[in-house]
A = this chain, B = another copy of it.
């Protein structure tokens, strides 16, 4: 059958181009890339690191790195995320991490063949990252200012942005952007920021509360002020993960 049946070093089979031998070529390297988003001051931000080496020295890039020999891509992503953001391993282990897709263009890295598995993470507003070792800087960058990244990271970032926008429609993911306890106003801000639209507050409220398991009210009287105005009730993320029916963004509905 297929080439999978013939690992490098074993006999050829005729389903493989004549003369193909994995050891005759440079090995593939496998990396992970992370598009980590947060909402800050009503703008979507992404975590970027500055490259300290060629190629793309001095350019900004998505954090990421090589898989260790006995590590899955998701473990590698969590490890890199912890390293780059200064999060504890525990916090990183609990984070919502989602595989975006894999980028495998043969020329995506000018030096060698690198296949990269991209992940998306959504985090609440975190302290400024402490940059990895090796003279690297890391920082939160408004998405609007994140352009001309190294490698194909502009593409990955665009894919990630579009994916999370879509995900907000039919999952409860938006709560991942919020701290453990949050107000419905903050949750609405997440949607408005990611989608770049304004939503009707009364309707948003009803929609969220009508979806069982989306949010759960925090007991007692605890309320929090967002500055001025009436203090808002606090909620925590609920147990549901999917939104049925979905919460479609306004643009997604205007044909008919």
Q: Which positions in A face B, CB cutoff 8 Å?
A: 1-8, 13-17, 20, 22-23, 25-31, 49-54, 61, 63-74, 80, 83-84, 99, 101-102, 104-106, 109, 111-115, 117, 132-134, 136, 151, 170, 210, 212, 244-246, 248, 252-253, 255-256
**Cα A24 to Cα B151 with chains together (Å):** 26
A100's closest neighbor in chain B, by CB?
Answer: B101
Other than the known A2-B65, A13-B53, what 6 A-B pairs have Cβ atoms closer than 8 Å? A1-B132, A1-B134, A4-B31, A20-B68, A25-B69, A73-B104
Which B residues are in CB contact (< 8 Å) with A17? 68
A17's closest neighbor in chain B, by CB?
Answer: B68
Which B residues are in CB contact (< 8 Å) with A134? 1, 5, 13-15
**Cα A142 to Cα B213 with chains together (Å):** 36
**Cα A244 to Cα B30 with chains together (Å):** 37
Most buried by B among A50, A69, A248: A69
Q: How far is the CB of A130 from the nearest CB of chain B, in Å? A: 13
Which B residues are in CB contact (< 8 Å) with A70? 106
A137's closest neighbor in chain B, by CB?
Answer: B1
Which of B61, B114, B255 sits near A244, CB closer than 8 Å? Answer: B255
Q: How far is the CB of A146 from the nearest CB of chain B, in Å? A: 15
Are B212 and A255 touching (Cβ within 8 A)? yes
Are B15 and A132 touching (Cβ within 8 A)? yes
**Cα A245 to Cα B255 with chains together (Å):** 9
Are A53 and B15 touching (Cβ within 8 A)? no
5 CB-based A-B contacts, threshold 8 Å: A4-B64, A7-B111, A22-B29, A28-B115, A115-B115
**Cα A114 to Cα B6 with chains together (Å):** 12
- Known A8-B112, A255-B212; contact A1-B104, beta-carbon cutoff 8 A: no
Q: How far is the CB of A135 from the nearest CB of chain B, in Å? A: 8
